[in-house]
Amino acid sequence: MISVQQRSVPVSYEKCSQTVTVYHKEGEQYVRKVFENAFFDHKTVQSVDKTGSSTANTFLLVLPCTEQVVFQGDKVLLGVGAEITTREEWASFIPAKVSGLSVVRYVDRKYWQGKMCHLEAGG
């Protein structure tokens, strides 16, 4: 007789082994959260059209979680990032000045059997 085991979710999170830091602004407070179970893929895309070439940075963040922990406008950095405590630090914490920093433009929550199993964020 064949034994059938039901999975807890329909995907494997074995590639979610990177550490990322997510920065979120709540009013006048700056919250830094470090996640050690993420998948973060950052790349530069170059396109050429009749007006010339242009480059754009894109990324995909996959984070297994049961509640939303990343929001539109948050900032994401691969590895453990520094604390941000002042308005001035936040204002200068931008992709043009910080290598590898990305700003979340969308968040897509994924569900399995009525419960959130991970989220995908990108920009």
Q: How many domains does the structure of the chain reveal?
A: 1
Confidence of residue 14 (pLDDT cuts 50, 70, 90): very high
Residue 12 lies in a domain: no
Cβ-Cβ contacts under 8 Å for 1 (sequence gap 6 or more): none
Range of the domain at 52: 18-122
Q: Which long-range contacts (CB under 8 A, 24 or more apart) does 5-14 make?
A: 8/112, 9/112, 9/117, 9/118, 10/112, 11/117, 11/118, 13/37, 13/39, 13/62, 13/64, 13/118
Is 76 inside any structural domain?
yes
pTM: 0.84
Whether 48 is covered by a domain: the verdict is yes
> Residues 30-54: pLDDT tens digits?
999 999 999 999 887 777 877 777 7
